[in-house]
Chain A
Amino acid sequence: MNNWQRWHIDRPLFLALSLLSVVGMFVLYSASGENSMLMVRHALRMALGFAVLVGVAQIRPETLRRWSPYIFAFGLVLLVAVLAIGSVTLGARRWLNLGIIRFQPAEIMKLGMPMMLAWLFARESLPPKTRYIGLGGAIALVPILLIAKQPDLGTAALILGSALTVLFLAGMSWRSILAVLVLAAMGAPLLWAHLHQYQRQRIATLLDPTSDPLGTGYHTIQSMIAVGSGGFFGKGWLNSSQAHLDFLPESSTDFIFAVFAEEFGFLGIAMLFCLYLFIIGRSLLIAFYAQDTYTRLLSGGLALTFFMYFFVNIGMVSGVLPVVGVPLPLVSYGGSATVTVMAAFGMIMSVHTHRRIITH
């Protein structure tokens, strides 16, 4: 048993995450306009993220399983609290202020949702009965609706996505999947009626960004200019004119990938994709080798949630998805998201490193 194993760290995954964080730091340094204060804050958050990763990896999967419903319930209580007493930032009520720290309870749900559903479906053998799927769906909808009410539609959609992946991995029958899809298609007009004006505008903009070039289309147009002007080899590090001349909004948070694409070009993108796909692939492999239903569903669900972040963010930056506030995991500056992602990888590592040696 080597040192990595003793600390319950999966070496390939850990090294890939570290490499990604370092790449992220370089991109952020450029995107923030060489702002060293911001870099210090980001580095501290990264360090905290890695500490959380190592800490969580020490927890046995069995313990995680027992905690699952409680973590979910705790997240639910905080979501209700944030609607009641949370602080309002830019018109949305997402933050809970606990004196020294401010955080978004939705972050807890990003972990709590896959944990809860994995726990639920691991109670009986797979595939789950329709009754169980219905129960899981009902449980999942409560936090999703609470988050949508904040309003934070982007996060609500992602948590819905993570719930659906767990349902899918659990072996939900293709017929049920079809039923859900049909239901979703029928519900779409209903949802459209309930969207805020700015949310509708964002979707309309996706179809034709030039329809409102200085309003909602501005983000998408400037971001596509950044990506496109990067070309095959890119303009070189610290040479993103789109970000530095202040055309590209949110350049150090949600649109940081545009800065990366402008500076490192298609070549850089290909390498960054390899890194992300390696992390996702390794996590799925861990799910593949996992020994019981709970750990399989948990690690698989978390891996796919990570992929969804990656996909939605880059889809948004390259103009194939509407503008939703989703950061590029481990690269974007900001918030509690980094810590959540690291905690998720801590769980995945725990699943892998606490396997029993069995033969059958």
Chain B
Amino acid sequence: MSGTPIKDYLRESRLFNSRILVVVAVITLLVLVLIGRLAYLQTIDHKYYATLSNENSINPVPIAPVRGLIFDRNGVVLAENYPVLTLEIVPNQVKNMKTLLSELGKVVTLNHRDLRNFYRQLREKPHFDSLVLRNNLTEEEADRFAVQRYRLTGAELHARLERYYPQGALAVAALGYVGRISESNTKVIDNADYRGIEYIGKLGVEASYENVLRGRSGIKKVEVNAEGRAIRTLDRIPPVAGENLYLNLDARLQSAAEQALGDRRGAVVAIDPRNGGVLAFVSTPSYDPNQFVDGISTTAYKALMDNTDRPLLNRALDGRYAPGSTIKPFLGLGALEDGLNPNKTYYCPGWYSLPGSTHRFHCWRWREGGHGVVDLHDAIVESCDVYFYNLAVHLGINRIDSILDEFGFGARTGVDVPGEFRGLVPSPAWKAAHGLPWYPGETVIMGVGQGAVLVTPLELANATAMLADKGVGFQPRIVRAIENPTTRVLTYLKPVPGRTVALSNMNDLKVIVQDMTDVVSSPRGTGYLMGHDAPYKIAGKSGTAQVKDMPASASYNAKKVAENLRDNAVFIAFAPAGNPRIAVAVIVEHGGFGGEVAGPIARKVMDAYLLPDHPALANAPKHPRQAPHHAG
């Protein structure tokens, strides 16, 4: 280095300070440029811009499009729009808000909630926006306001369309609902798509087909006066209405299932096995989606949240239940494919023990001394647990898992509504990940659909549909067709292939379907009561899934056990057995015996579909407002 530190220091200071001086000069220059520019704009060009500012009275106002309607497969209206008059205030134009509100209170009814909502908007929204004060004005109120309008500066009447679900709680599990655009919505949507639009699909089809239903906003160029009040419309780009949806869902099945479930908690999913169309999608108890459209009141929401029946849980989509004995046909088919001789018998004394263990796994008929000698046919028809304990051990857990996996258990089905949960197919690897060993006993109870295994009603219906359609699966679809609202042209959505089971021998499937048919038609079958008298042939399987482990010694009496410890009733079925058009899965929480409780519900749903003139359908929703052009 050159020179002494002091010399260096001085040299550095001098250099730096000279640079600072250059910087100051440059800053001065740049600021003079800005000042010059601004002075030019604000003095010499002021008149020009002041004129432009005054002429800047042509305000583009967005026009909300009409949201698409939703119909069931027969044209029954499930979601529509109806016009409401709203009273709105632009705070900037108001001289004294308190006076205005009290004056308005004399003209229209304003309750505590209206005022609270309005004050909240006043805090959160720009004061040049039009804020809704009252929704749903009566004609009388609108007339009274119109007369007084001249002295109520800042308040205006607006006509808006509001979503309405005429069937109320029917099908809310599939339909979902719309609600006001919330802060969490605004983070993900493009505001340009929502000009003038207040509502957005929150759940179900309303959410997943949001882009189809929404339509495109139009723009109206409005001349406004200095206070921003509209004087006249100069130009108008009309909005494009959203497209209509026709669902695969059938309101008759939907209401048959809801009525059959009554006030019990449960779920029903019905699928057309030929294309994956969802015919019924029920979760009970249900709730009225209309209360969510304009923001549910805190008390009503609290009531829904506090309800121990949990109506807001979409059981069909997100409920997870042990499948119980409904798992047996799937395991039986897998075993046949592996070469199991259907005539092979096991002896059922009413219990099963692993070699070298004294623990007894009971058969549900253990008190009568078991089923005796059973083959696969008997084991499915009479639902013998001991046969399937043996079969499970014979198959081994890995093979059981691969069979269930082939039928789509433990995986999302890909249904066209958001928020689907997966079931759970437990495996030694899954337990190892939780640091636990796999016990042989867990393999045993997997044979009867107990233990850690869980399925959603949708998964169960989907797997049943695969069984009905020779192993071919589709992704379940709630929506069937999209209709252009102006041309009325229907575009049918193509079925989307799903998981498919590669069957090596179609005869194996025939054997299982025959066994399932006998579940219903044989007097010894667990489903005899639900369907032996049906005018079409039903293939079914009952399931009675334990909710809680009962000590083997305890005598189980469903009537005496507290309701919430009672077994879940499960039933799967498809019909007509020879040429299936509908596959159903029913789960009734704490219902008791599957064949007695869930079976009859499945029957009613199938009747509603296969026997459309059934007297039980008399009070189902009918009278389509408009039928699709080529329903078929």
- In the bound complex, residues from chain B placing their C-beta under 8 Å from that of A266 are 38-39, 42-43
CB <8 Å contact, B92 and A318: no
Is A230 engaged at the interface, CB distance under 8 Å to the other chain? yes
Is B432 engaged at the interface, CB distance under 8 Å to the other chain? no
- In the bound complex, residues from chain A placing their C-beta under 8 Å from that of B11 are 125-126
Is A280 engaged at the interface, CB distance under 8 Å to the other chain? yes
- In the bound complex, residues from chain B placing their C-beta under 8 Å from that of A225 are 49, 52-53, 56
Is B533 engaged at the interface, CB distance under 8 Å to the other chain? no
CB <8 Å contact, B49 and A224: yes
Chain B CB within 10 Å, residue with most, of A35, A245, A265: A245
Query: Among the listed B19, B31, B46, B59, which residue makes an inter-chain contact with A228, where contact means beta carbons less than 8 Å apart?
Result: B46
With A37-B123, A127-B15 known as contacts, the answer to whether A242 contacts B23 (CB < 8 A) is no
Main SS at interface, chain B: helix
With A35-B124, A261-B38, A269-B38 known as contacts, the answer to whether A304 contacts B23 (CB < 8 A) is yes
Query: Among the listed A37, A227, A244, A245, which residue makes an inter-chain contact with B41, where contact means beta carbons less than 8 Å apart?
Result: A227
- In the bound complex, residues from chain A placing their C-beta under 8 Å from that of B124 are 35, 37
- In the bound complex, residues from chain A placing their C-beta under 8 Å from that of B126 are 32-35, 246
Stretch at the interface among A15-23, A59-67, A307-315: A307-315
* A-contacting residues, B40-88, CB 8 Å: 41-43, 45-46, 48-50, 52-53, 56-57, 59
Task: Report the nearest B residue to A35, measured CB to CB.
Answer: B126
Complex-state Cα separation, A26 to B226, whole angstroms = 23
CB <8 Å contact, B46 and A231: yes
Query: What is the interface residue range for chain B against chain A?
Result: 35 or more
Complex-state Cα separation, A318 to B228, whole angstroms = 25
- In the bound complex, residues from chain A placing their C-beta under 8 Å from that of B45 are 228
Complex-state Cα separation, A349 to B108, whole angstroms = 60
CB distance from B266 to the nearest CB of A (A): 38
* B-contacting residues, A17-75, CB 8 Å: 32-37
Task: Report the nearest A residue to B27, measured CB to CB.
Answer: A307
Contact flags (1/0) for B24-36 with A, using CB distance below 8 Å?
Answer: 1001001101110
Contact flags (1/0) for A318-350 with B, using CB distance below 8 Å?
Answer: 111000000000000000000000000000000
CB distance from A42 to the nearest CB of B (A): 14
CB distance from B496 to the nearest CB of A (A): 28
- In the bound complex, residues from chain A placing their C-beta under 8 Å from that of B228 are 244-245
CB <8 Å contact, A320 and B33: yes
Complex-state Cα separation, A32 to B56, whole angstroms = 19
Complex-state Cα separation, A207 to B45, whole angstroms = 18
Chain A CB within 10 Å, residue with most, of B42, B125, B127: B42
Is A157 engaged at the interface, CB distance under 8 Å to the other chain? no
Is B103 engaged at the interface, CB distance under 8 Å to the other chain? no
With A126-B12, A225-B53, A242-B53 known as contacts, the answer to whether A33 contacts B128 (CB < 8 A) is yes
- In the bound complex, residues from chain B placing their C-beta under 8 Å from that of A270 are 35
Chain A CB within 10 Å, residue with most, of B49, B50, B91: B49
CB distance from B477 to the nearest CB of A (A): 30
Is A14 engaged at the interface, CB distance under 8 Å to the other chain? no
Is A360 engaged at the interface, CB distance under 8 Å to the other chain? yes
CB <8 Å contact, A318 and B17: no
- In the bound complex, residues from chain A placing their C-beta under 8 Å from that of B19 are 168-169, 171
CB distance from B502 to the nearest CB of A (A): 39
Is A226 engaged at the interface, CB distance under 8 Å to the other chain? yes
CB <8 Å contact, A320 and B37: yes
Complex-state Cα separation, A304 to B52, whole angstroms = 36
CB <8 Å contact, A273 and B20: no
Is A296 engaged at the interface, CB distance under 8 Å to the other chain? yes
Contact flags (1/0) for A279-300 with B, using CB distance below 8 Å?
Answer: 0100010011000010010001
CB <8 Å contact, B53 and A318: no
- In the bound complex, residues from chain A placing their C-beta under 8 Å from that of B59 are 245-247
Complex-state Cα separation, A259 to B206, whole angstroms = 41
Is B6 engaged at the interface, CB distance under 8 Å to the other chain? yes
Is B536 engaged at the interface, CB distance under 8 Å to the other chain? no
Is B141 engaged at the interface, CB distance under 8 Å to the other chain? no
Query: Among the listed A227, A284, A315, A319, which residue makes an inter-chain contact with B23, where contact means beta carbons less than 8 Å apart?
Result: A284
CB <8 Å contact, B127 and A35: yes
CB <8 Å contact, A228 and B224: no
Complex-state Cα separation, A124 to B2, whole angstroms = 12
CB <8 Å contact, A288 and B42: no
Task: Report the nearest A residue to B5, measured CB to CB.
Answer: A125
Task: Report the nearest B residue to A90, measured CB to CB.
Answer: B190
Complex-state Cα separation, A262 to B33, whole angstroms = 19
With A241-B56, A244-B228, A245-B56 known as contacts, the answer to whether A293 contacts B34 (CB < 8 A) is no
CB <8 Å contact, B42 and A277: no
CB <8 Å contact, B20 and A245: no
- In the bound complex, residues from chain B placing their C-beta under 8 Å from that of A265 are 42
Is A232 engaged at the interface, CB distance under 8 Å to the other chain? yes
With A33-B92, A224-B41, A231-B42 known as contacts, the answer to whether A288 contacts B128 (CB < 8 A) is no
CB distance from A229 to the nearest CB of B (A): 4
CB <8 Å contact, A125 and B8: yes
CB <8 Å contact, B33 and A300: no
Complex-state Cα separation, A48 to B128, whole angstroms = 30
CB <8 Å contact, A227 and B49: yes
Contact flags (1/0) for A237-276 with B, using CB distance below 8 Å?
Answer: 0000110111100000000000001000110011001000
- In the bound complex, residues from chain B placing their C-beta under 8 Å from that of A165 are 23
- In the bound complex, residues from chain B placing their C-beta under 8 Å from that of A284 are 20, 23-24
CB <8 Å contact, A314 and B34: yes
CB distance from B52 to the nearest CB of A (A): 5
CB distance from A197 to the nearest CB of B (A): 17
Task: Report the nearest A residue to B122, measured CB to CB.
Answer: A36
- In the bound complex, residues from chain B placing their C-beta under 8 Å from that of A296 are 16
Is B618 engaged at the interface, CB distance under 8 Å to the other chain? no
CB distance from A174 to the nearest CB of B (A): 10
With A228-B41, A232-B42, A266-B38 known as contacts, the answer to whether A169 contacts B23 (CB < 8 A) is yes
With A241-B53, A244-B128, A288-B20 known as contacts, the answer to whether A311 contacts B30 (CB < 8 A) is yes
Task: Report the nearest A residue to B44, measured CB to CB.
Answer: A228
Complex-state Cα separation, A107 to B53, whole angstroms = 37
CB <8 Å contact, A229 and B52: yes
Chain A CB within 10 Å, residue with most, of B6, B19, B129: B19
Complex-state Cα separation, A244 to B56, whole angstroms = 12
Is B1 engaged at the interface, CB distance under 8 Å to the other chain? yes
Complex-state Cα separation, A293 to B15, whole angstroms = 11
Contact flags (1/0) for A83-115 with B, using CB distance below 8 Å?
Answer: 000000000000000000000000000000000
Chain B CB within 10 Å, residue with most, of A37, A231, A287: A231
- In the bound complex, residues from chain A placing their C-beta under 8 Å from that of B24 are 284
Task: Report the nearest B residue to A229, measured CB to CB.
Answer: B53
Task: Report the nearest A residue to B49, measured CB to CB.
Answer: A228
A-B contact pairs, 8 of them (CB 8 A): A35-B123, A169-B20, A171-B15, A224-B49, A229-B52, A232-B42, A245-B224, A318-B34
B interface residues with partner A (beta carbon < 8 Å): 1, 6, 8, 11-12, 15-17, 19-20, 22-24, 27, 30-31, 33-35, 37-39, 41-43, 45-46, 48-50, 52-53, 56-57, 59, 91-92, 123-129, 224, 226, 228
- List 12 additional A-B contacts (Cβ < 8 Å) besides A229-B53, A307-B27: A32-B126, A33-B128, A34-B127, A125-B12, A169-B19, A222-B56, A224-B41, A228-B53, A231-B42, A284-B23, A287-B16, A360-B6
A interface residues with partner B (beta carbon < 8 Å): 32-37, 124-127, 165, 168-169, 171, 222, 224-232, 241-242, 244-247, 261, 265-266, 269-270, 273, 277, 280, 284, 287-288, 293, 296, 300, 304, 307, 311, 314-315, 318-320, 360
